[in-house]
Structure 1
């Protein structure tokens, strides 16, 4: 059973000292009635905000200058009386008051400038503090004070990372050198910053658990998929009681972030919470309200991946919740409440493990999601495949197929485990120069691939010349690959599934043809898709190409390759459009099928919008099952569907999917 409530609100309260009358309109009874209007059963309220002010009678920090009451205490007491779980929020890297009053706590970059979000001090925005300084004592003392004064279920600790360039004042640079790191190497400074962050978390967690070993703890702004597990969150998990995936699609996260991250963090043995926001854009959008269809999709998508839900809000400085906001939240949380029982305790059923391309062994990845990972998400989700993202330390045995997208780096140890995985019957797709060993100039898995690296492809773009074995549902023509691929030196006996078609020449200043690239001259004898046993090598970066240009042919080529390695996927024949999303989870002996159909559209310059629900009618689905189900029913409606069980699949038709539908296949996962 989940220990995390399903219907949470994360209540921001970053309030300028220039605003008068803070909290003067707060009324405990009205506060609770509004939360109940929103069907909220857990709320995170604020002890200290990014402006650096506390909202309780602190002896450690500074109370907001216009606050005349114990706002935190009144909220905590009201929630306890109403049976609503309550958590306390504080912040680390951003604290404007501390930044102004304690110059010695400021984050200083190696160039001597202070860390801040904006380029000049004339622009409004947060400035960065150094958690490796004595500022850490101040933060931890505030947390201890809150725990002493209030009965809360969790401490939510925000912005627990260095923002921008890693710190590098002279004492830190000297300490780096003393610890064996090179201060002049930017990557070494990044790794040292990671060490400092982890040291702070270890101290902070130790202080919290010394007071209450059962206290919930979450450090925000830390979650990031990393190719090297030592540089990601796995070594930090002793500091977390659960993970909250902050992902507001109206902000910089977009709609790709959450489904990718939840598919990675579902491989961690911990509870997950999906956090979106009620805003049209993101935090601080006081007058913005999320379209109902968008908020539905974001919450239901969390349920479809087994997560509990949190919706971000921001309290008005005078302390009154907006009833219109909680009417919207309540519309969605009422539906969440009706569906919780078919989510709780369920587990994913991924068949494909995708090794993330973000970073490399010993090198931290970027904050931006790499194109290869975006491409795998789009391709596999649109194909209705069940998949997870993995890293170089992951166990591959739960999967039937592992995918190494373009340019993904693996270690020799990972190569050995993948080799054993293939020898045990696992399937492998290697794309582009994934798995290339810089030291030897060849693939680490060349033996199982049946092909060696022979340098970059001569032509870019060139053309896919597909064999009949891999051309299902693809128009019979030469299809372009715009990005440069690699040449393969293929072993005897390896099956060739596609060859390269060469253009007359590469487009250069010396010779070009027409508006874009050069037309096809002829097919060559250069193999670009080959198969040896359970391993398929695609010598073109098709996942990156799909992320950039979304050519259907590239997705279909990958689909046809997958069908050779995974001929009986969990989701079989169906008539869903590519915009439909299907996740299948197991709950006891039942299979729980989640079908989502919400379509986002680029309507703002940088903003994707969901405004309408586009119903799907007579949706035909086939779900692989180990047993004939005792019944197939729509939930929570409890409408029984007619179903057939044949060849290991349950076949049924859903009359209508009005944005989101759960189907329970009772007993279909039993023996």
Structure 2
């Protein structure tokens, strides 16, 4: 059943200095609407006020400049049957920051976001709870709603900083004010896909995840945050950009295949699409930009009947906790090299904790994605007992109450994969799983210890026998009780000072009593910080150890494919309706980047096609038809054991494989 929300949206970023000439000079209402319609756009977000403080509507509280452009854009969209929202950046207004420095957020070191005199501002963050700021925002919102027939308000900058960790929530005030004026108007707040969002998501109608993969976010950001946001009970939008790099990248335009791949990943996770654009001061939509957007959105429109009402099907969950507004890791694989370093240089302990905690979640998510398991990310308020498998990242805090709950979950037949600190009860030496009978004996003495793995690796029993694999992010020292299967043990480095020459300290070759990878009924445990280690280093041996444990914990996953680990594989379910059959839909996204220098943008411009990919689906459905609906190809379906199987002949960008019954 459709919820009526559009699938194909565009958001127009539009920021101008008062000194800019020709603002709005290229705006033609008929051309504006026709360009959007030709690009298969269903809805658009237009700027009511920009980050400089300029208003695009007549206001009793004007900024440095006012251009009456909002009304014309809204009327053009309404005439073309396009939905339209008004964008309002709440806590970013350089005009107010200059005139009311007492409204600014003050950091722990007593600095504000104002730059030295004569330098260009970056983000002069205003305090969300300041009465003066709130009064201006409420006045402006009321003026917008009374002057323009917008379908909704789209609030940006409603969190207290780009990545800061704080406890300041103002979305509720804005939502109540909007609905007091026009109850039917939709409210959207940007970036609610962070911890702590569950307690305020009831104030909004939709959630947006701003995550331009070619900017600072990287390609790991959006699929991870999507898996958390989609559990919050609201429609979710993923926001890529048409830019080659980042917002305001004039002249930078994504390759059509790159944008198509990004949108395929968004809808594969059950999200809708909202492409970011910036038309420049003249406010004329560029034909080349909208030809690129149109090609990508035509493909989404073609498969939209298989997206409406379809919900993600999951078998596992990563359990996350942390301070409010914790994000689940940022790749930093984009265009702004010094951005993360600048954040860390502020010395905010809470920020560092939140970022490292989030990195553990992001690394665990990457491992599950590469194993093609179907999973959500949930917090401690969730009913996590409904999942077949729980993954506990290394910094999850397990108190006595949660430990008891997890043991009950294991006793009821659930499975747990946990690493490092998530096995301890608080700060004690006790390991909570009853089946381990384990103790914590502190951390390994050296920053880089090693582990020796028993049994076959990569199908070879002998090649790696006695080899000591590096644990780049350290390791705990555990002992476990009898009856527990130990897959690997800790090898401490040599303490010989001759080797302390600036290189890593080599292993001693002496295998200790401490276990680093163990398995008990329903439980897989790793003594090193698995998520952060894999996110930061991508070392294949961590993936191999995880695969060994997962094969025992979840031997019959929902979907099996022969696609490589670089492909993203997700599963959604569309219930039977009066007009259509029940469907299980496997989404296959071919993430095939060109080679790029380390830490730089990944370009998805010449993908290597995937050929003859086998898909085996475990679904309780008598399948009568299978098809790859992006290309309109019927697929012969066969029953193998308890699975429905098809072969997809070729996938260049993405495949949407539908099983009907």
- TM (normalized to structure 2)? 0.89
Cα–Cα, structure 1 residues 121 and 490, in superposed 2: closer, same or farther, change >3 Å? farther
Structure 1 residues 525 and 75, CA, compared in 2 at 3 Å: closer, same or farther? same
**1:171 maps to which residue?**
none
Match of 1:492 among 475, 482, 488: 482
Cα gap change, 1:543 to 1:103, in 2 (>3 Å): closer
- Between stretches 201-210 and 302-311, larger displacement belongs to 201-210
- Alignment equivalent of 1:379, drawn from 364, 367, 372: 367
Matches within 5 A, 1:394-543: 394-443=382-431, 445-458=432-445, 461-468=448-455, 472=459, 476-477=464-465, 478-482=467-471, 483-503=473-493, 505-506=494-495, 509=497, 511-512=499-500, 515-519=503-507, 521-543=509-531
Q: Return closer, same or farther for 1:533/1:360 CA change in 2, 3 Å cut-off.
A: farther
After superposition, the C-alpha distances for 1:214-237 in whole angstroms (9 at most, x for unaligned) are: 32112224432x3xxxxx101111
Residue number in structure 2 paired with 1:176: none
Which residue is 1:154 aligned to? 152
> Whole-Å Cα distance in 1 between the matches of residues 436 and 50 of structure 2?
54
Query: 2: distance between equivalents of 1:138 and 1:7?
Result: 32
Deviation of 1:63 after TM superposition, in Å, equals: 7.3
Spell out, residue by residue over 1:56-115, the C-alpha distance to the aligned partner (whole angstroms, 9 max, x if none).
Answer: 2223324735x3xx3111111111111110111111111122223334433344554333
Alignment partner of 1:593 is 2:583: no
1:267 partnered with 2:254: no
2:35 aligns with 34
| Pairing partner for 2:100 from 96, 99, 102 | 102
Deviates more, 1:461-470 or 1:291-300: 461-470
Aligned partners of 1:361 and 1:411 also within 8 Å = no
Q: Does 1:12 align with 2:1?
A: no
Q: Would you say the 8 A contact 2:398–2:426 is kept in 1?
A: no
Return 5+ residue gaps in structure 2 as ranges. Answer: 327-349, 576-581
Mapping of 1:52-63 within 5 angstroms? Answer: 52-62=53-63
Tell me: CA distance 1:556–1:119, structure 2 relative to 1, closer, same or farther (3 Å).
farther
Structure 2 distance, partners of 1:649, 1:591, is 12
Question: Is residue 91–residue 158 contact of structure 1 (8 Å, CA) maintained in 2?
Answer: yes
When residues 313 and 369 of structure 1 are mapped into structure 2, their CA distance, relative to the original with a 3 A threshold, is: farther
* CA distance in structure 1 between the aligned counterparts of 2:23 and 2:311, rounded to whole angstroms: 45
List per-residue Cα deviations over 1:102-153 (Å, max 9, x = no partner): 344333445543334x577523433222232212101111001111111111
Q: For 1:465 and 1:38, how far apart are their aligned partners in 2?
A: 56
How much has 1:359 moved relative to structure 2? 4.5
- The aligned counterpart of 1:88 is 86
Other-structure match for 2:340: none
**Alpha-carbon shift at residue 327 of structure 1 (Å):** 0.6
Q: How does 1:161-172 map to 2 (within 5 A)?
A: 161-163=159-161
Deviates more, 1:511-520 or 1:525-534: 511-520
Structure 1, 609-618 or 8-17: larger mean CA deviation: 609-618
What SS class does the counterpart of residue 95 from structure 2 fall into? Answer: helix
The 2-side partners of 1:8 and 1:213 are apart by 22
SS of match in other structure, 1:137: helix
1-side partners of 2:303 and 2:162: how far apart? 41
CA distance in 1, matches of 2:236, 2:517: 38
Q: What is the CA RMSD across the aligned residues, in angstroms?
A: 2.6
- After superposition, the C-alpha distances for 1:29-48 in whole angstroms (9 at most, x for unaligned) are 11112112211110001111
Are the aligned partners of 2:151 and 2:185 in contact in 1 as well (CA < 8 Å)?
Answer: yes
1:310 corresponds in structure 2 to 274
- Aligned CA distance change for structure 1 residues 164 and 576 (closer, same or farther; 3 Å): closer
Aligned partners of 2:47 and 2:486: how far apart in 1?
A: 61
Over residues 146-174 of structure 1, what are the superposed CA-to-partner deviations in whole Å (9 max), with x where a residue is unaligned? 111111111011111333798xxxxxxxx
Retained in 2: the 8 A contact 1:542–1:554?
yes
Question: 2 CA distance for matches of 1:601 and 1:545?
Answer: 24
Distance 1:423 1:214, change over 3 A: farther
Does residue 644 (structure 1) correspond to residue 638 (structure 2)? The answer is: yes
The aligned counterpart of 2:330 is none
Residues 1:324 and 2:294 are matched in the alignment: no
Tell me, yes or no, if the aligned pair for 1:360 and 1:409 is still in contact at 8 Å: no
| Structure 1 residues 502 and 366: CA distance shift in structure 2, 3 A | closer
CA, structure 1 residues 487+43, in 2 after alignment: closer, same or farther (shift >3 Å)?
same
CA distance in 1, matches of 2:254, 2:565: 25
Residue in structure 1 matching 2:564, options 577, 582, 592: 577
- Asked if the contact 1:461–1:506 (Cα under 8 Å) also holds between the matched residues in 2, the reply is no
Q: What's the CA shift string for 1:579-620, capped at 9, x where partnerless?
A: 111111111132100011122346366322222122111111
Task: Name 1:130's counterpart in structure 2.
Answer: 127
Could you tell me whether the CA contact under 8 Å between 2:191 and 2:208 is conserved in 1?
A: no
Kindly indicate whether the alpha-carbon contact (under 8 Å) linking 1:361 and 1:409 is maintained by their aligned counterparts in 2. Answer: no
The alignment partner of 1:277 has SS state of: coil
Q: Could you tell which deviates more after superposition, 121-130 or 103-112?
A: 103-112
Is the contact between residue 10 and residue 311 of structure 1 (CA under 8 Å) also seen in structure 2?
yes
C-alpha contact 1:396 1:421 (8 A) present in aligned 2? no
The alpha carbon displacement at 1:427 in A equals 0.4
Match of residue 187 from structure 1: none
Q: 1:149 and 1:411, CA in 2 relative to 1: closer, same or farther beyond 3 A? A: farther
Taking a change above 3 Å as real, the CA distance of residues 473 and 235 of structure 1, as seen in their structure-2 partners, is: farther
- Segments of 5+ residues of structure 1 without an aligned counterpart are 167-189, 227-231
3-state SS of 2:365 partner? helix
* Alpha-carbon distance between aligned partners in 1 of 2:162 and 2:605, rounded to the nearest angstrom: 35
1:181 corresponds in structure 2 to none
